[in-house]
């Protein structure tokens, strides 16, 4: 399994990742204007269409209501992802429960009492997520947090107070989330605690606040007990910077007697620890030398951990509870590839299980543990049946200073006759850099890997230093290393690919979103001849202005940014941030750049892309700049994502010579604005002309 049901409660103690998601794939034939330019004596694999790769899935996010009476999922309604509902006894009797007509609904969940469905939605990508509820009996929808410029947080849920949840709202002060008790059926909000300091809270099953979490001067977190609604003056636990991203409380058991921690204090990788609340005694439940403890399965009724995962190159699960072990063994005997549990009923008799074979369509099943049956629920992308999906190779690469870099490689179809992970002849490559940087790449189906491999490229994703999941030492090795050792890791991985016969030296592109966009800009400025071109998606170009414009609700953890990136409030810190900012080295760029930006991005403001594009234009350096006025940190609308990727693959084809599907009418179906540089992408000027003629 790769992921699982999270622990019942989790504190917001880590820096939010500046990360983007990835797409998926399906099969389609080649069109007249696809014009592959690669030379190969073998028959070319069919092109997988962008619409199938990045369009709406047929269904996703299947769940069971806690009482087991209902099935729910996300699926298109009039082309937009909405929440659907059906009786568990009659899945065919489905109806749409929401009426989203513009932005897709991407996250929803059940009320604990099974009387309503809940979802969060923002406006135009501004990340001010509000909470909405739909009454199952009447279909009535209610805005449960009816405020402007407000971002809701779920602070606590309960097994025994199923009609209520604790939420955090920053409508009073955008920096801090006050805690309210929300009645899910009446919509009544009752203030529990005004917050003028804390980054997060932890509650128990009675929805009583038990802990407040605040940043400290050391760059870590202080954990303050809360007794009778009053926060203690001194913390009971603390972390410093080195443990800040790998240590946090993970929730109480239902009886409130045990508190779980994911904890790296006194060790490198984060262990799962159970703490007796009364005595303070701590017991290590699980630990691994190579990776942090990742997901858990907990008893829906008691909150006791039943299984845990470790995700190094691949995810491995260990069951503690014998009944859970029997169920996982049963699923392992029936399913090929990765699988995981994404929903469970209150009595734990039924599970929703996803299955990712990597090279064939992912499926979701209903597992009846009592009857011992596994019934197919849906195929997420049925168009993938028969598609030339490629295996992913898990690798351990080495940095120049000896760090192990867990990485993933996908090769083009037909390029690796013996399946050893090295192509028969070097092929063009895209270095695909994950965002964050405090996030990670993992094993499994990856739509971007499949898309780019299908176009004729090797695709390499590297967990460079600073990536999470591999222990605190790996994260700490990236402190103050933006544009330096973090970038060296990417260069070392690229050189490995060249030396190993994966790719020719002159046909490697760099591409990524958020931090991956920064890495792209760093690649074209700090190592200007290493890459043939770059694709920057919502990447910061100026670290000084990035830190000045972070969302206000990140203010409580800004000290971690300063200590890990550089402190703009000190002369030496400001000088370093400017030195590491690609903007100030824009004159060194000699390779083509494609930029994609959302106008409403609250994390990486539009000015970050404006600055680098203007600097390149002033020096007559080729840059193509695509702006989406209704998007934020990434492109949520499939039509926008498809349009940008249409431009991207034709840009890559222009630079590297891979195959491409024509841009066609994708621009007309999106809100894309080509700000500059249409002439540098094959077919883009023609597509714009067709769009203008149609208006």
Compute CA distances 195 → 192, 213, 617, whole Å.
10, 11, 46
Compute CA distances 481 → 153, 499, 576, 578, whole Å.
32, 25, 10, 13
**What single DSSP character describes residue 428?**
-
Tokens 């760099």, located at residue: 510
Partnered with residue 352 across adjacent β-strands are 343, 366
What are the b/e assignments for 335-360, b being 16+ CB within 10 Å?
A: beebbbbbbbbbebebbbbbbbbbbb
Residue whose C-alpha is closest to residue 504's, from 427, 415, 431? 427
Q: Is residue 116 among the annotated active site residues?
A: no
Give the separation between CA 518 and CA 509, rounded to whole angstroms.
14
Cis peptide before 103 (omega within 30 of 0): no
Give the separation between CA 393 and CA 462, rounded to whole angstroms.
12
Burial environment of residue 685 by CB neighbours within 10 A (0 to 12, 13 to 18, 19 or more): middle
Helix, strand or coil for residue 67? Answer: coil
DSSP H/E element including 394: strand 392-398
Q: Is residue 676 among the annotated active site residues?
A: no
Q: Is residue 633 among the annotated active site residues?
A: yes
Would you tell me the crossing angle of helices 485-499 and 515-526 to the nearest 10 degrees? Answer: 70
Give the separation between CA 315 and CA 135, rounded to whole angstroms.
37
Residue whose C-alpha is closest to residue 666's, from 685, 689, 640, 692? 640
Q: For 589-613, what is the HEC assignment?
A: CCCCEEEEEECCCCCCCHHHHHHHH
Residue whose C-alpha is closest to residue 12's, from 565, 562, 554? 554
Burial environment of residue 159 by CB neighbours within 10 A (0 to 12, 13 to 18, 19 or more): middle
> Active-site residue among 61, 343, 399, 514?
514
Helix, strand or coil for residue 310? Answer: strand
Are 152 and 131 contacting, i.e. CB atoms less than 8 angstroms apart?
A: yes
What are the b/e assignments for 643-676, b being 16+ CB within 10 Å?
A: bbbbbbbbbbbbbbbbbbbbbbebbbbbbbebbb
Q: Is the dihedral of CA 409, 410, 414, 419 positive or negative?
A: positive
Which positions ≥6 away from 418 have C-beta within 8 Å? none
Q: How far apart are the first and last CA of the chain?
A: 49
SS3 content of the chain, % helix, strand, coil (to 5): 20, 30, 50
> Active-site residue among 393, 449, 487, 633?
633
Give the separation between CA 547 and CA 648, rounded to whole angstroms.
28
> Active-site residue among 492, 601, 630, 682?
601
Residues classed as catalytic: 514, 601, 633
């Amino acid at each position: 399994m790769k992921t699982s049901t999270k622990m019942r409660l989790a504190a917001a103690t880590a820096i939010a990742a500046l990360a983007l998601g990835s797409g998926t794939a399906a099969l389609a034939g080649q069109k007249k204007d696809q014009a592959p330019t690669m030379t190969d004596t073998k028959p070319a694999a069919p092109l997988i269409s962008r619409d199938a790769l990045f369009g709406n899935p047929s269904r996703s996010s299947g769940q069971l209501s806690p009482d087991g009476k209902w099935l729910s999922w996300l699926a298109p309604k009039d082309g937009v992802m909405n929440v659907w509902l059906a009786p568990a006894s009659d899945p065919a009797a489905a109806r749409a429960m929401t009426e989203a007509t513009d932005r897709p609904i991407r996250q929803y969940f059940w009320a604990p009492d099974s009387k309503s469905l809940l979802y969060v939605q923002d406006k135009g990508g501004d990340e001010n997520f509000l909470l909405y509820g739909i009454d199952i009996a009447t279909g009535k929808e209610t805005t449960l947090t009816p405020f402007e410029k407000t971002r809701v947080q779920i602070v606590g849920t309960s097994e025994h107070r199923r009609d209520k949840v604790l939420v955090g709202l920053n409508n009073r002060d955008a920096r801090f989330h006050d805690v309210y008790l929300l009645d899910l059926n009446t919509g009544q909000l009752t203030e529990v605690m005004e917050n003028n300091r804390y980054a997060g809270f932890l509650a128990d099953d009675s929805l009583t606040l038990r802990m407040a979490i605040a940043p400290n001067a050391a760059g870590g977190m202080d954990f303050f007990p809360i007794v009778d609604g009053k926060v203690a003056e001194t913390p009971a636990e603390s972390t410093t910077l080195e443990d800040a991203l790998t240590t946090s409380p993970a929730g109480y058991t239902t009886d409130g007697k045990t508190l779980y921690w994911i904890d790296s204090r006194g060790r490198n990788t984060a262990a799962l620890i159970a703490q007796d609340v009364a005595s303070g005694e701590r017991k290590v439940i699980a630990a691994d030398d190579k990776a942090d403890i990742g997901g858990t399965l907990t008893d829906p009724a008691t909150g006791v951990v039943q299984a845990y995962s470790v995700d190094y190159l691949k995810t491995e699960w260990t069951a503690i509870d014998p009944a859970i072990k029997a169920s996982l063994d049963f699923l392992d005997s029936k399913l090929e590839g990765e699988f995981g549990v994404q929903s469970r009923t209150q009595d734990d008799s039924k599970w929703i299980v996803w299955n990712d074979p990597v090279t064939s369509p992912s499926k979701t099943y209903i597992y009846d543990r009592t009857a011992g049956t596994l019934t197919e629920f849906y195929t997420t992308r049925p168009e993938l049946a028969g598609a030339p999906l490629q295996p992913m190779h898990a690798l351990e690469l080495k940095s120049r200073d000896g760090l192990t870099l867990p990485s993933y490689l996908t090769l083009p179809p037909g390029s690796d006759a013996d399946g050893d992970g090295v192509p028969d002849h070097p092929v063009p490559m895209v270095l695909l850099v994950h965002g964050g940087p405090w996030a990670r790449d993992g094993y499994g189906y990856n739509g971007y890997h499949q898309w780019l491999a299908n176009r004729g490229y090797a695709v390499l994703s590297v967990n460079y230093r600073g990536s999470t999941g591999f222990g605190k030492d790996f994260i700490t090795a990236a402190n103050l290393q933006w544009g330096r050792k973090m970038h060296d890791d990417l260069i070392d991985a690229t050189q490995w690919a060249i030396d190993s016969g994966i790719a020719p030296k002159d046909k490697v592109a760099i591409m990524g979103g958020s931090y991956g966009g920064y890495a792209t800009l760093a690649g074209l400025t700090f190592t200007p001849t290493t890459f043939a071109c770059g694709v920057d998606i919502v990447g910061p170009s100026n670290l000084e202005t990035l830190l000045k414009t972070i969302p206000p609700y990140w203010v409580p953890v800004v000290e971690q940014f300063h200590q890990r990136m550089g402190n703009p409030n000190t002369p030496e810190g400001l000088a370093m941030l400017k030195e590491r900012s690609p903007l100030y080295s824009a004159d060194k760029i000699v390779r083509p750049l494609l930029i994609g930006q959302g106008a409403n991005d609250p994390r990486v403001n539009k000015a970050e892309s404006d600055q680098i594009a203007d600097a390149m234009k002033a020096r007559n350096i080729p840059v193509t700049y695509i702006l989406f006025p209704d998007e934020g940190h990434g492109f949520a609308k499939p039509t926008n994502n498809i349009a940008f990727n249409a431009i991207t693959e034709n840009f890559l084809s222009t630079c590297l010579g891979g195959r491409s599907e024509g841009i066609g009418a994708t621009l007309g179906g999106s809100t894309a604005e080509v700000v500059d540089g249409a002439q540098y992408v094959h077919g883009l000027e023609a597509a714009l002309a067709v769009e203008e003629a149609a208006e």
